[in-house]
Amino acid sequence: MSNEATTGHKRAGMMTLAVGALGVVFGDIGTSPLYALQTVFSIDHNHVHASPSDVYGVISLVFWSITVVVSVKYVLFILRADNDGEGGVMALAHLTRQVVRPGGRRFVVVMILGVLGASLFYGDSVITPAISVMSAIEGLEVPAPSLSHWVVPLGAIIIAGLFLVQRFGTALVGKFFGPVMIVWFLVIGLLGVAKIVPHPAILKSLLPTYAVQFVVDRPIVAFIAMGAVVLAITGAEALYADMGHFGKAPIRRAWFGLVFPCLSLNYLGQGALILDKPSAISNPFFIMAPDWAQIPLVVLATVATVIASQAVISGAYSVSRQAERLGYLPKLTVRHTSESEGGQIYVPAVNWVLFAGVMLLLLVFRSSDRLATAYGLAVTGTFLLTSTLFLVYAESAWHWARWKLILVGVIFFSFEITYFLANMTKVVHGGWLPMLIAICVATSMLTWRRGSQIVTERRTAKEGPLSDFVDWLHTAPVTRVPGTSVYMHPYTRTVPLALRENVLFNHVIHEDVFIVSAVSHNVPHVPDEDRVEVEVLGDPYDAITALKLNFGFQDDQDVPRALRLAADQGVNIDPDEVYYFLSRITVHRDRDKIMPHWRKRLFLAMAHNAANPAEYYRLPEPRTIVMGAQVKF
């Protein structure tokens, strides 16, 4: 194939990925113009006037916030810190953990920051669908004020439909996400141009001097306004979190080639409209459009916000699975909704918890304006955590000089600390909500982590060393029966409880025994050639073999499929003929004080709702035997 043809194929593939990124990565930040400036000039920020100095100052703050936080921080810097191609605050935390001194204070702090970042992401996942869909439907109030009482019911119907269709997957709908978002960005860019052309003076707000002057002249007003300006960059974390789906280059090309220019044009256009028509602050985005286009724009905006919501929901699924594989959540029931795309998953428990949270928000707050007061803390908190982890990683892995760390830190934190403090003023007006969600999620994750460690220690003591068990088999009155058995077990140094119970009470053991451990690694994917590790235990006569199956945190832990790979590599096993044995551990609360009783109750509740191990490992039900044992906790 010629170099020209090869280059053409690479460009076509890059273009396809860039279009896909438009539909998934940029949905949240792409729909921010619906409510960002409206919130800045709303009654909660009524000290911001529709005067030239205030408008130029606000637009300049918005433009430079997007430039510094999104274009510089995320696109140019943060995307470089990838965990085997994957991103997100929890992936960054584990990546950082690998390069800091094990066991030290920084080692512990890094992991706690990752948990807090993931917890704040759940708060964002609850608020984004509510505020995005509501802000789009509220556009009906511009051409048809009489329909205002339909806004909440329509929002509830759309959100309910969005969560109900999750079980069917987004593979088919996902093909249309990118093209729809291309139309969306072109439309909002053109709307901005239509207002900029008759009022070109608004372009002066691109100069940072107007933002600085606004802050100097009216520092208190500017500080309050920053709490709403941050709404223009909500969704920036998605650029990093979804990196594994599309890669760095397509995300960067889509951002600089279409998203950033169109967002900037739209915000400039809204600024020009407010200067020309101060009453437009009630809903500048939809008032920008000609009368004949306002209803179609509401429809397009609704579709765009559904796409933005879908991206956040899918992100919550991915974060949950990643947290589970890294030991911070119990095993989750995960259903794959696409035969070709591994990332297309549906997690029922996460879906319905999010649905309940979103509907509650919608019915309590009842407007995008009021929801905006609750939005900023989750976003700004995630920004601060990501910046902190990135600087620790840059120092430990890239060995940045101190002057470089200080320079980059000052640039990032000067914006993000201001955003965070400005949003702290909204705590009593709804900002408590994402903080409450984050505290609940973080408490649950840390409780599960600690509880799992305690239960594992006590389970290990009950199981006993595997080497002693193998030696005992030489003289034990045990009958060997034909066939092959597979005992699922977290590790190979102790005896699977199901194996011990089978031998002690039934006095039989199969001719061939495999102790299989499914191990999650801190990488997204493990290649098939590295999937299986084999270890023969004791004397070959014992016919006990340990298999370690290696999985990444994005891999499906399909044990029969992995055993087929083992057979292809020479292991004498047929996964279609073996019997699978599972040790079902029943945990009972003890009266010791190793953990507070309320945390024990929380751990037991989470354990009770964990996924069925047989389904989790894709084991065939007719050939799966579950044997129980009790562990006190």
pLDDT in tens, 138-161: 888 888 887 778 888 988 998 888
Question: Sheet of 544-552: strands edge to edge?
Answer: 532-536, 544-552, 508-521, 479-488, 579-588, 624-632
- Structure tokens, 400: 């940045």
Is residue 284 pLDDT above 90, yes or no? Answer: yes
Determine the Cα angle at 259 with ends 256 and 263, to 5°.
120
Q: What is the mean pLDDT of the chain?
A: 84
Q: List pLDDT tens digits, range 435-451.
A: 888 889 999 999 999 99
What are the CB-based long-range contacts (under 8 Å, 24+) for 39-44? 39/228, 39/231, 39/368, 39/369, 39/372, 40/225, 40/228, 40/229, 41/274, 41/281, 41/284, 42/228, 42/281, 42/369, 42/372, 44/228, 44/369, 44/373, 44/429
Is residue 403 pLDDT above 90, yes or no? Answer: yes
Q: DSSP class of residue 342?
A: T
- Residue 8: the pLDDT is 40
- Residue 237: the pLDDT is 81
Q: How confident is the model at residue 562 (pLDDT cuts 50, 70, 90)?
A: very high
Average pLDDT (239-263) is 85
Q: In 3-state terms, the chain is what percent helix, strand and coil (to 5)?
A: 70, 10, 20
Tell me the β-bridge partners of 486: 514, 580
- Residue 446: the pLDDT is 92
Is residue 218 pLDDT above 60, yes or no? Answer: yes
CA dist 82 to 95, 112, 167, 313, Å?
Answer: 8, 19, 30, 22
- Give the highest mean pLDDT range of 161-170, 194-203, 246-255: 194-203
Instruction: State the CB neighbour count (10 A cutoff) for residue 344.
Output: 17
Q: DSSP class of residue 72?
A: I
Please state the length of the chain.
633
Q: Are 332 and 347 in contact (CB under 8 A)?
A: yes
- Residue 54: the pLDDT is 92
Q: List pLDDT tens digits, range 314-365.
A: 778 878 887 887 788 998 887 766 544 445 677 888 888 899 988 888 888 8
CA dist 353 to 267, 302, 357, 441, 602, Å?
Answer: 34, 23, 6, 12, 16
Find the largest Cα–Cα distance for the chain. Answer: 95
Q: How confident is the model at residue 393 (pLDDT cuts 50, 70, 90)?
A: very high
- Residue 394: the pLDDT is 93
Candidates 240, 262, 235; CA nearest to 252 is: 240
Determine the Cα angle at 422 with ends 416 and 426, to 5°.
130
Is residue 189 pLDDT above 90, yes or no? Answer: yes
Instruction: State the CB neighbour count (10 A cutoff) for residue 398.
Output: 11
- Structure tokens, 401: 């000089």
User: Percent of the chain scored above 90 by pLDDT?
Assistant: 30
Q: Could you give all domains of the chain from N- to C-terminal order, each with its CATH number?
A: 13-430 (1.20.1740), 464-632 (3.40.50)
Residues 407 and 411: their CA atoms lie apart, in Å, by: 6
